[in-house]
Structures are given as C-alpha cells and as structure tokens.
Amino acid sequence: MTNTNREWLLAERPDGEPDTDSFELRETDVPTPDPGELLVRIRYLSVDPYMRGRMRDVESYAEPWDVGDALKGGVVGEVVESESDAYDAGDLVTGEGKWADYATLDADDVAPVDPTIADPEAYLGVLGMPGRTAYFGLLEVGQPKPGDTVVVSGAAGAVGSVVGQIAKRNGCRVVGFAGSDEKTDWLTDDLGFDAAINYKATDDYRAALAEAAPDGVDVYFDNVGGPITDAVFTQLNLDARVAVCGQIAHYNEEGVPTGPRKLPQIIPVRARIEGLLVGDFATRFGEASEQLGRWVATGELEHCETVVEGLENAPDAFLGLFSGDNIGKQVVRVSSPDDE
C-alpha cells in the first residue's frame, strides 16, 4: 500500500449547470484510523442527482458540501486497517465516505457487503440507498394496489428501475419514461415493464402516455419533474398518489422554476402528492435490505450498474447524470481487488 492518497474537493459552487471547474483533485496522505474507525480502500463510489443540492450553500436534508472540503457520498470499500472489533482487514463494507482512494469511516456507520448476494457495486444501487428509496417510496407513499397503473419517470435510473419491478410484483401495470431506446428496451425486455416511453423521441408526452396508460395513472413515482411530470398530472385518476422523489430536470436551474400549476388539477381527482426522503424510513432499513437482498440473490430483481473507471473521472460520472448517461446505477470504480 502506497502512502499517497487522492481526494476530490469542491473547488467552487456552480451557477446553473455545473462543469468540471467545480471540482479539484488533491493529493494527500493516506489517513490513519482513530479508535472505532476503519481505514478503507475505496472500491466504488456513488454519484447521485441529489448531490447537486449539496453543491449549494443552503441548509437542507443533506449537509452542504463546503468549498475546499472533500466531497462525500456512498462508497463501497475494503477494510485495510481496523480499529474496531466489528470488522477485520479484508472485509468489504459500505457507508458514507470521501471521493478518495482511501478514507476512514466510523465502524458504527458502515454495513457489511456480502459479495455472494451481488457484486459490491450493487450495494450503492439496488442494495443501497436507491433501492431502499424505491422500496419505501413506492410501497409506503405510492401505496400500489393490484390492477393500478404505476408510472415512473427516470425509469431506467437507479431508483426508477427498482420501483417499476416492485410495482410489477404487486400486480400493477407499469409504464416508464426514459431517455433512449436502449433504456426503454431494457425496461420492457429485461425488467418486465408493460410499456416504456422514450421521451427524447416524442414531443407529445400526453399522447404517448395516454396510449401507454389508457386507464389513467393511479400512482406516479416522480424522479424528474418538468414536462414529463406536467403530462402525467393531466392523466391522474381518482385518489391518485404521487411520490415526489426527485426533480432532476430542475436541479441545475437557478431561482424558482415555473410551469403549469398543478393544484387546480388535483382537486377534481383528490390526488395526494408527497415529498419523499428515504431517511424517514431509517428504522425500517433492515426490512428493506433483507427483502431486496432476497430478490436480488434469487434473480427476481434485475439490476444494472453503469461503471466509470477511475477516481479521476468521478466528476464526469456525476455530470453525466444530468444528461442521462447512465443505465441503472451510476458508480465510479476506484480500485479493484487485483490492483497492487
């Protein structure tokens, strides 16, 4: 093990669409774990749309990243030095760590990674925060009933792809919006979606949705906002449920975005719209992990990770989220078991 470490820091807060100028790669020493901590060699790090919010200097549910500080997010890594009885060197763990080659994590804040269930990177997707978000967001906020039509935006992403599959397990008709034919093919051919709309191939989302969801929309799981969401709101059924998980279409907008007003539309159908953060279900993460792990292990739940190679390319992987480069979960591979 070398003593050289690299970590990404926030160089400046972006105004609107971020670019690589917001990021700076710094060389540091490999840190030394304190008692109770683990020194971890990062294998994979997660880039997620919600991180755009952390680039703003605004208090929110996720702590803002500070200019000059290392960026942090979900990681999977191998313990190389343990100051905790709970883990030994060689163990694979997942938790919140720096975008770095090596990082220290508090042993109390990590969870074990079981590579017999799925490849380690899946612990940043279907078996991590995105999978749990899909699980609780759909089941608790969306409340799908057999026969319901469930529409998912960002359907080929880390969260949406799991939402659609769980909805199918619950006997729903599932329609997804995604941004390429490759993605919509994946949804219908591999994940079992009943229909998928490539929104980049049409400019009439309402007509496309009316065809794909002829009985209207009972549950809408929204990851994107913008014109797709506007179209879905015109076709909500009586007592529809809308889980607002993400609004990636608006994350790079400065100021308050405007669009069609939705409140007049929801009175006739008595729709319920609810903002969703997975952290609110923290006491039940065990239940979700167990259930998702079982489905993944048996192959009943498909998953996919898009891997960008090399810590040095982490900012590009993050920026690619906003142009829809990823199918399934976007991760960055920082190291491999066979690396020296």
Q: Which residue has the tokens 């763990």?
A: 93
Give the up-direction half-sphere exposure of residue 325: CA atoms within 13 A in the CB hemisphere. 15
Question: Smallest Cα–Cα separation from 298: which of 83, 128, 117, 164?
Answer: 117
Q: In the complex, what is the shortest distance from the CB of residue 163 to a second copy, in angstroms, rounded to a whole number? A: 16
Question: Smallest Cα–Cα separation from 329: which of 223, 211, 235?
Answer: 223
Candidates 68, 112, 115, 275: give the one binding a second copy (CB under 8 A): 275
The span of 37-45, 127-135, 184-192, 260-268 binding a second copy (CB under 8 A) equals 260-268
Question: Smallest Cα–Cα separation from 229: which of 220, 216, 239?
Answer: 220
Nearer to a second copy, 99 or 233 (CB): 233
Residue 271 interacting with a second copy (CB under 8 A): yes
Query: Element (H or E) spanning 181, and its range?
Result: helix 181-185
Residue 256 neighbours by CB distance under 10 Å: 6
Q: Do the beta carbons of residue 227 and residue 200 sit within 8 Å?
A: no
Q: In the complex, what is the shortest distance from the CB of residue 322 to a second copy, in angstroms, rounded to a whole number? A: 15
Size of the site for a second copy (CB under 8 A): 32
Nearer to a second copy, 5 or 247 (CB): 247
Residue 277 interacting with a second copy (CB under 8 A): yes
DSSP for 7-65, please give it: EEEE-S--SSS--GGGEEEEEEEPP-PPTTEEEEEEEEEE--TTHHHHTSS---SSPPP
Residue 328 interacting with a second copy (CB under 8 A): no
Candidates 90, 268, 298, 339: give the one binding a second copy (CB under 8 A): 268
Residue 207 interacting with a second copy (CB under 8 A): no
Using the Cα atoms of residue 11, residue 14, residue 20 and residue 21 in order, give the sign of their dihedral: negative
Residue 61 interacting with a second copy (CB under 8 A): yes
Candidates 20, 32, 60, 202: give the one binding a second copy (CB under 8 A): 60
Phi-psi region of 68 (alpha: psi -120 to 50; beta: other; left: phi over 0): left
Q: Which of residues 218-237 bind a second copy (CB under 8 A)?
A: 222, 225, 229
Candidates 2, 27, 29, 261: give the one binding a second copy (CB under 8 A): 261
The span of 15-23, 121-129, 148-156, 272-280 binding a second copy (CB under 8 A) equals 272-280
Q: Which residue has the tokens 């953060």?
A: 277
Residue 15 interacting with a second copy (CB under 8 A): no
Q: What are phi and psi of 33, to 5 degrees?
A: -75, 140
Candidates 27, 85, 263, 338: give the one binding a second copy (CB under 8 A): 263
Residue 273 interacting with a second copy (CB under 8 A): yes
Give me the helix-helix angle, 226-233 and 205-212, nearest 10°. Answer: 50
**57: helix, strand or coil:** coil
Candidates 2, 116, 258, 298: give the one binding a second copy (CB under 8 A): 258
First-residue to last-residue Cα distance in the chain: 8
Residue 336 interacting with a second copy (CB under 8 A): no
Query: Element (H or E) spanning 160, and its range?
Result: helix 160-169
Q: In the complex, what is the shortest distance from the CB of residue 113 to a second copy, in angstroms, rounded to a whole number? A: 28
Question: Smallest Cα–Cα separation from 127: which of 44, 221, 200, 50?
Answer: 44
Nearer to a second copy, 75 or 228 (CB): 228
Q: How do 37-46 and 102-106 pair as beta strands?
A: antiparallel
The span of 153-161, 173-181, 253-261, 323-331 binding a second copy (CB under 8 A) equals 253-261
Residue 274 interacting with a second copy (CB under 8 A): yes
Residue 210 interacting with a second copy (CB under 8 A): no
In the complex, the residues that contact a second copy under the rule CB under 8 A are 60-61, 222, 225, 229, 244-247, 250, 256-264, 266-277, 280
